[in-house]
Chains A and B, each alone.
Chain A
């Protein structure tokens, strides 16, 4: 269980994390989303006691990270892919971590095998690719068999197999009761991995809800309705306060209304309906909408047009 209480962090005069309050529950994968610079990594570093909060608190199982008795046995985290000393061998890096937290040394071989580095344990970390380093970081996180996992952008540098692997790993850990807190800017990745979403922008909480609810509440959900008398329906819908546009095929596209609203209104007017479809926003769209107002760098109109 991870709890943030009004967590705030200033760097110089700039506020990176702004009164963030959250409870991240066990048994779920909680996705942590936000545009670059939103404060995701800073929040995770505060959680691990790497940075000190300006005010507020970040607690794991009720205490700050530094108060955990053997932290690696409670929390497994990877917030920096620059893992280990380049001149050190992967297995000895893990062995040092194991010894530091009274973790049986036999776990070293076990986690190396678990992350697919069984044959690379004797290699120096400096020779590792980014993907291998990422796997080594995850091996370090799993070493103490912790009940809380914190990963910052874990899929960076992983190949397609690796992405599937880490997704399965996180799902399996959550199913076994672990608290899994994972940041990403890849919305599609979260859609298939996370149960719950925390979205932040400019250090502030924007959304804290299940994936389904985040999508359901998106203003980008729309309804397409095709009727022979589109003009009459459009007028009625507009009068009722919904936003209506005409598609190229002559159908109407309505936002802000439910299927029942549109169907009922057509029925009331005695109109024949040829098509009535709900278009759910993708998580990507819902997210873009949520965060567009909090972007640090908003593209100008000309940049938008160019892309």
Chain B
């Protein structure tokens, strides 16, 4: 309750104030929600568990003569395939829960300009996603490195690549899911869509024997992220991977914005 006593600085310029206000609105809400305090720690827990499992597995396989050595930060990056779901759901719920609870009415009264409303949300969620990505890979490395032992040796450069890649990926993923949530307006729908996009399609598309489908699968967000986070050169380089992720983000956020603007609330 002590936060209530603080006063608003009066010296900020009006145009900036309105964006800052919209960002503060979203940040205040997310910071005080119980779901934030549940979902984000769960992501960390899931990340640590999978990183430990993959790290131990790398060591066990390596000792049995298989070539499974992988830098620990990359093991941590691969472990994101579980924890990313928590971030995706968190981001989607940040808007679908407003529709579910009816508080979207109050939010849009406070910030009636839809572009600013969604833009501020994207900025806050993108930032949370970025920090989450870096933290998850950092924490994952701390767990995976001892588990993998000599089969997980890494350079500081590899750690930086994985942390930066994960931050970028989860930041953009959070924005994609925000756009999807704004489009679907339903928590169940958005969570289902997140599972299909992050789990379903990456599993199913490679089963097709058609070359075009296989190639298209390479451009799914998860696959582009893998390139970005492990500095791979297959099937394309990190620059292309970043462009692919950015394109997905623009498409989803754009669709969400169009829905928010075009439809009645």
Interface residues of A, Cβ cutoff 8 Å to B? 45, 48-52, 65-66, 68-72, 75, 77, 79-80, 82-89, 91-93, 95-106, 108-109, 121-122, 124, 137, 140
Contact = CB atoms under 8 A, between A and B. Distances in A.
A87 B24 contact: no
A101 B264 contact: no
B103 A91 contact: no
A66 B18 CA distance: 13
Contacts of A122: 1
Given A100-B22, A106-B7, A79 B33 contact: no
Contact of A66 (B17, B33, B102, B113): B113
Interface residues of B, number: 38
A104 B3 contact: no
B29 A102 contact: no
B98 A91 contact: no
B41 interface: no
A96 B7 contact: no
B106 A140 contact: yes
Given A66-B113, A104-B8, A105-B8, A87 B34 contact: yes
A98 B3 CA distance: 12
B264 A105 contact: no
Contact of A100 (B1, B25, B102): B25
A72 B32 CA distance: 21
Contact of A85 (B17, B29, B108): B29
Given A50-B264, A85-B98, A87-B34, A71 B4 contact: no
A49 B112 CA distance: 7
Given A69-B14, A85-B101, A106-B5, A51 B109 contact: no
Contact of A72 (B7, B105, B110): B110
Contacts, number: 119
B234 interface: no
* Those 10 A-B pairs whose CB atoms lie nearest each other, nearest first: A82-B102, A100-B25, A96-B28, A92-B32, A99-B24, A51-B264, A66-B112, A87-B34, A100-B110, A80-B105
B97 to A, nearest CB: 6
Interface in B16-70: 17-18, 21-22, 24-26, 28-29, 31-35
Which of A86, A92, A100, A104 has the most C-beta atoms of chain B within 10 angstroms of its own C-beta?
Answer: A100
20 contacts: A45-B264, A49-B108, A50-B108, A52-B264, A65-B112, A71-B109, A82-B101, A84-B106, A85-B98, A87-B33, A87-B35, A91-B1, A92-B32, A98-B8, A100-B111, A102-B8, A102-B21, A106-B5, A108-B4, A137-B106
B99 to A, nearest CB: 10
Contacts of B34: 87, 124
A96 B108 contact: no
B265 interface: yes
A84 B265 contact: no
B6 interface: yes
A96 B105 contact: no
A97 B265 CA distance: 18
Nearest to A141: B109
A158 B98 CA distance: 24
A237 B25 CA distance: 69
B7 A82 contact: no
Given A66-B113, A99-B21, A99-B25, A79 B32 contact: no
Which of A50, A51, A75, A121 has the most C-beta atoms of chain B within 10 angstroms of its own C-beta?
Answer: A50
Contacts of B265: 45, 50-51
A143 B1 CA distance: 17
